[in-house]
Structure 1
Amino acid sequence: MKKITIYDISKKLGVSTATINRALSGKPRVSEETKKLIIETAEQMGFKPNKAATSLARKTIRIGFIINRHVLDFNIEVMNGAKRAYEELADFNVRGDFQIMDHSDSKTDVFRKMREMADLGYDGIILAPTNDLRGYSEVIQELYDKNVFVATVISDIPNSKRIFSVRSNSRMSGKIAGKLLWMLAKDKPVAIFTGTRDSEIHKESIDGFMEQIKASNMDVIAIYDNYDDLDIAYRATEKLLREFPDVGGIYIGTSNSTSVCKKIVDAGLTDQIKIVASDLFPELNDYLRQGVIQATIFQQPFQQGRLAFKKMYEYIGEAKRFEDIFLLKPQIVLDSNLELFID
C-alpha cells in the first residue's frame, strides 16, 4: 500500500506543500478554514506524519531526571534506563538532564533543584522521591501551575499533582516472597527487613507479604526498618537471632540486603534460615549462587527508568494521556535463571 505524503495532499487540494506542512505542524500563517480542511483531508487519506520530522518543527522538550545516591546500585540502574530512552529519542528534539543528588543532600536541596529546572524552562521532571514525602505535594503543585509536569519513579507521591508514577508492583513482590517462604521455611516463623515503613513501596510490599503469610497460616515474628543502612541492618539481624533463635525465614524487601546475609553467614545459619531478597547486584548475586539466598524478587529498575522517560516525552511531546500508575511485574530470580537477568 502506497504511503501517503504531503505531496499527495497538496495535489488533491491544490495547496502548496509549504502550507500543508504549516497546517499539520501547527505553525501560523494558515487560516483556520484552510487548516481544518487540510487536517481533515490528511486524516481521510490516511496520512501518518513522521514524528521525528514533526518534532523538529517545535521547540526542544527538556526533561530533567533527579535521583539520589541512596541504594546506589538500584538507582543507577533506574537512571541508566532513563538514559537509554533518551538515546532512543535522539531524533525527536528532546534534551535530557540527569542529576544524581549526593546521599547527604537534604530534601530541601531536591526542592531547590526542581525549582531551578523549572526556572530554566524544563517541561518535565522525573523524580525518585525520598522516604519522607512532606513538602513534595506543595512543590509539585507550584511547578504544575507553571506548566512544568512532574512524574515519579521507584516510589510515589500519592494525592499530589504528579502526572504519573512508574514503579514495581510492590504488593505483588511481597505476596510472591510470602509464598516462597511458605514453601522454603515450612512451618517456622519468619521476619521482614525493610527500608522504612514510611515509604509507599515498602508499606505495599509488607502488606502483600502479610496478606500471603496470613493465608498460609505462618507467623511473622518481627519487622525491622533498616533505613537502607548496612550497619543498622546487621545489628537488627543480630537482634533477631538473639531474640528469636527459631526463626526459619527472612524476607528482605529492600535492595540493601547484603549485611543481613553477611550476619547469617557469620552466624553459620545458612542451612537453617531461608532468605528471599530483592533485586540484583554483584554481591547479592554471589550470595544467590552460594545458596545463602534462595530467591530474589527483581523489580526491573532499568525498565522503570526507561518507561518513565519515554512516557514523559509522550505526555509533553505527543499530548498522550494514559493511566496515572504504571506497575511493572516483579520477577522471581533463582540461581538457576540468574544468567538471564545479568549482562
Structure 2
Amino acid sequence: MTSKIKNNTEKPTSGIRAIAEELGISIATVDRALHDRGRISEKTRARVLQVAEQLNYHPNRAARDLRLNRRFRVSINFPTGIPPFFDALRSGIEEGALPFSSTLDIEFHSYSLPYDHARNSIQSALDASVDGIIAVPPNTFQMAELVRKANMKGIPIVCISTDVPESGRLTAITAYPFNCGAMAAEALFSHMNKRGSVGVLTGNLEYLNHAEKVRGFRTMLSQLSPAFSVAAVIEAHDDPHEAYQGVRRLLQSTPKMAGLYISTANSISALTALREAGRLDSVAVVTTDLIPELVPYLREGIVKATIYQCPETQGSLAIRTLYWYLSEGMRPLHFIGVIPQLIIRSNLDLYISTNKYIAR
C-alpha cells in the first residue's frame, strides 16, 4: 500500500533571510550551509544550523526534490502483533511524512508471527529495490547479516522501537528501553510490601528493547531492595493467549507474588488471568503503553502506572531522519532516544485527550 499526502507549501525564503540577518552573513552563505553545497567552513555551517533550529526553520527539501524530479520509495515493515502500538507508530510515520509527500512514497508491509518472518519481509523490500527501510527487527545474527547486506547495496535501514546495534543500520530510534524497565521497577516498588517476588511478562528476548527492559528492571529492583527478587521472566511473543497462560503458570508457581511488570502492550490478557485468579487486589501491576482497554484499570488503580514509549514521536522521527538522509545525505546520530513517560491515574486524562486512539 502506498501513502501519498498533501505537500506543505510554506515558503522558506523569510526564514533564510532571518538566519542571515541574525548571523550577519549573506543569504547565499545560509543557503549553502542549509543545503550542503559549495565551499563553506564547518564552523559557519554549524552556526547556521544552530540558528535555524532556534528559529524552528526547516528547509523545504521536498520542493527542491520535486524540481529535480527526485522521488524516494520507503518500505515500512512491521509485525502484526499488538495493533494499537504499531498503529501509533504508523500514524507517527504518516504525519512525519506530510512535508515530503510530493517526493516520498511510503509502503506499509506487515508480517505475521513467528518473528523470523521479519527477515523475509525485509528481504522482499531489498529485492524490490526500495530507497530505504524502517523496521522492527530482532537482534539476531541472521538479521544483522541482512542489514549489512542492505548497507552494502546502499539501502539504509532505520530500526524503530528496538535495535540491531552491530549491523551497520543507519540509526535506531527507541524510548530508552533500559530506563523504561528501571522506571517500571521504581513505580512497582512503591506499591509493594517490604519483600516478595515479582514477575516479568515480556515479548521476545531476541529483541533488544525487550531484553534491555528486563535488564533495567532487574538492575533498579536490586538497587531499591535486596528483599525483592524476580521470580520469572515469561516470553509471550506478543501473543495474548501466551500471555494469559504464562501469567496463570506464574501465579501457580509463585503463589505469593507481589508484583507484575508487563513490558509490552500485551497486557489485557495478563490482567484477565489475574482477575480470574482473584489476584487483582494483591498483585501490584505496571504495564507498558496506553491502549483503550487499559484505561479502566488505570482509573480504578488496579494498574498502578504504565510506561508510555511515545510511539507517534518515534514514527515521526524515523521517517524524517530517513528522508533527510536520502535527500541530503545528512547522517543522523548513531542512536536517537525518545524519553519515556510515566502515566498514572492523576495525569491519565491529559494523555487521553491528545491520543486519537484512546479519545475516540
Q: TM class, shorter-chain normalised? A: 0.7 to 0.9
What SS does structure 1 have at the residue aligned with 2:128?
A: helix
* Alpha-carbon distance in 2 for matches of 1:103, 1:210: 28
1:82 and 2:93 matched: yes
* Alpha-carbon distance in 1 for matches of 2:267, 2:149: 37
What SS does structure 2 have at the residue aligned with 1:275?
A: strand
Moved over 4 A (4+): 1-5
Which amino acid letter does the alignment assign opposite residue 135 of structure 2?
A: L
1:54 and 2:61 matched: no
Match of 2:280 in 1: 270
Match of 1:334 in 2: 344
Match of 1:125 in 2: 133
Match of 1:192 in 2: 200
Superimposed CA distance per residue, residues 273-328 of structure 1 (whole angstroms, 9 cap, x where no aligned partner):
11000011111222222322111001111111111001001111122123111111
Match of 1:73 in 2: 84
* Alpha-carbon distance in 1 for matches of 2:207, 2:14: 54
Match of 1:137 in 2: 144
* Distance change (3 Å), C-alpha of 1:293 and 1:50: closer
Match of 2:4 in 1: none
How far residue 3 of structure 1 moved from its aligned partner, in angstroms, is 7.6
2:262 aligns with one of 252, 262, 266: 252
1:173 and 2:175 matched: no
1:233 and 2:238 matched: no
Match of 2:104 in 1: 94
Superimposed CA distance per residue, residues 155-179 of structure 1 (whole angstroms, 9 cap, x where no aligned partner):
1112101110111111001111111
Within 5 Å, give how 1:199-214 maps onto structure 2: 199-214=207-222
Match of 2:52 in 1: none
- RMSD of the alignment, in Å? 2.9
Match of 2:332 in 1: 322
Q: TM-score scaled to structure 1, two decimals?
A: 0.81
* Alpha-carbon distance in 1 for matches of 2:209, 2:190: 24
Larger radius of gyration: 1
Match of 1:149 in 2: 156
* Alpha-carbon distance in 2 for matches of 1:3, 1:212: 46
How far residue 56 of structure 1 moved from its aligned partner, in angstroms, is 1.9
How far residue 132 of structure 1 moved from its aligned partner, in angstroms, is 6.2
How far residue 97 of structure 1 moved from its aligned partner, in angstroms, is 1.7
Superimposed CA distance per residue, residues 33-85 of structure 1 (whole angstroms, 9 cap, x where no aligned partner):
xx969x89xx99x9x97534322233112222111202222112111111111
* Alpha-carbon distance in 2 for matches of 1:127, 1:296: 25
* Alpha-carbon distance in 1 for matches of 2:59, 2:298: 49
How far residue 2 of structure 1 moved from its aligned partner, in angstroms, is 7.7
* Alpha-carbon distance in 2 for matches of 1:3, 1:266: 60
Match of 2:223 in 1: 215
- The alignment-based identity, stated in percent, is 27
What SS does structure 1 have at the residue aligned with 2:280?
A: coil
What SS does structure 2 have at the residue aligned with 1:261?
A: helix
* Alpha-carbon distance in 2 for matches of 1:3, 1:301: 30
* Distance change (3 Å), C-alpha of 1:109 and 1:198: closer
* Alpha-carbon distance in 2 for matches of 1:133, 1:238: 30
Match of 1:160 in 2: 167
Which amino acid letter does the alignment assign opposite residue 204 of structure 1?
A: E
* Distance change (3 Å), C-alpha of 1:194 and 1:102: closer
1:304 and 2:304 matched: no
* Alpha-carbon distance in 2 for matches of 1:102, 1:132: 18
Which amino acid letter does the alignment assign opposite residue 171 of structure 1?
A: F
* Distance change (3 Å), C-alpha of 1:193 and 1:286: same
Which amino acid letter does the alignment assign opposite residue 128 of structure 1?
A: V
How far residue 268 of structure 1 moved from its aligned partner, in angstroms, is 1.8
* Distance change (3 Å), C-alpha of 1:56 and 1:215: same
* Alpha-carbon distance in 2 for matches of 1:281, 1:169: 20
List runs of 5+ in structure 1 lacking aligned partners.
6-20, 27-34
How far residue 89 of structure 1 moved from its aligned partner, in angstroms, is 2.3
2:252 aligns with one of 217, 220, 242: 242
- Would you say the 8 A contact 1:25–1:57 is kept in 2? no
Which amino acid letter does the alignment assign opposite residue 213 of structure 1?
A: L
Q: TM-score scaled to structure 2, two decimals?
A: 0.78
* Alpha-carbon distance in 2 for matches of 1:3, 1:297: 38
2:271 aligns with one of 243, 251, 261: 261
Superimposed CA distance per residue, residues 176-212 of structure 1 (whole angstroms, 9 cap, x where no aligned partner):
1111111111323222111122220111111111111
* Alpha-carbon distance in 1 for matches of 2:240, 2:15: 59
